[in-house]
Amino acid sequence: MIDNWPGLWTLLVKEVKRFTVVFMQTVTAPVVSALLYLFIFSHALGGRVDVYPGVSYPQFLVPGLMMMTIIQNAFANTSSSLIFSKVTGNIVFVLLAPLSHLEFYLGFVGAALVRALVVCLGVYAVAFVYLGVTVVHPLPLLAFGLLGGLLLATCGLLTGIWADKFDQVATVQNFLILPLTYLSGVFYSIHSLPPGWQAVSRANPFFYLIDGFRYAFFGHSDVSVWQSLAVMAGANLALCILCVRLLARGYKLRG
């Protein structure tokens, strides 16, 4: 239940301003990084690989890279914000504010969604000019974009709650988030893998995000788009409940 809308809005604006102050680092740099992947792989494999009929390999890459930016930036925004507040001690000012645990959660996650979607749109704007990639199914695009941002923002918030120092956040990002992202089908279709590795890929939750997001662009997917939606909706619900309960307990947030 949300009772303090002004307080929620204030927290959201605070968190958005936190990353916009360093816009070059938090928005421009991830866009450039994703475009470098696109240009390099396009040059190396463009014209040699055809994944879907009528879809060039550079075009195939675009949805995966867009979702990759959503994953990385949503996670980074909540995890870095919360661990910074804990390490510096200013988390107490947020905890003392008249905000419910749900409002606390929505403020942090909402700002992460803003950052992730801004970076994603930046990648798409360049890819549209460069490759003319268009969206076939807008509703799945919106659904998977929001589900992906929400899932990783919640993962980032959970990491920030659990971690006591920056090194622990970096460990989760480098040894869990990044491997799962790169092995989720950003650069390939799982149908090109041996059967055993296809089964392993289906155990990766990020695969369903990227596969569903790619379906929105081309109308092709490696698994049913409804299956992907169900998996992502279930994962989001479970993690959201866990996160709000940890916030309600004050786990590692109250001395």
Is the pLDDT assigned to residue 45 strictly greater than 90?
no
Is the pLDDT assigned to residue 139 strictly greater than 80?
yes
The residues, any chain, with a CB within 8 Å of residue 180's CB and separated by 6 or more, are 204, 205, 206
pTM for this entry: 0.95
At 191 the pLDDT is: 83
Q: Which residue has the tokens 């990227």?
A: 210
Other residues' Cβ atoms within 10 Å of the Cβ of residue 3: 11
Adjacent-strand bridge partners of 50: 56
φ/ψ of residue 62, rounded to 5: -55, -50
Is the pLDDT assigned to residue 174 strictly greater than 90?
yes
Least confident residue range of 48-62, 75-89, 162-176 = 48-62
Helices 57-88, 5-20: axis angle to 10 degrees equals: 110
DSSP 3-state assignment of 193?
coil
- Six-digit token string for 224: 């049913």
Is the pLDDT assigned to residue 226 strictly greater than 80?
yes
At 73 the pLDDT is: 97
Least confident residue range of 4-8, 89-93, 173-177 = 89-93
| Domains of the chain by residue range | 5-249
Residue 134 CA neighbour count, 13 Å, CB half: 2
Pair 169, 250: CB distance under 8 Å: no
- Six-digit token string for 182: 């790169």
Alpha carbons 180 and 175: distance in angstroms, whole number: 9
φ/ψ of residue 4, rounded to 5: -110, 75
At 245 the pLDDT is: 96
Alpha carbons 155 and 175: distance in angstroms, whole number: 14
More confident residue, 67 or 3: 67
Q: How sure is the predictor about 44, in pLDDT bands with cuts at 50, 70 and 90?
A: confident
Q: For residue range 193-222, what is the model confidence (pLDDT) as tens digits?
A: 888 888 989 999 999 999 999 999 999 889
At 3 the pLDDT is: 87
The percentage of residues in the chain with a pLDDT greater than 70, rounded to a whole number, is 98
Q: Is 107 exposed, middle or buried (0-12, 13-18, 19+ CB in 10 A)?
A: buried
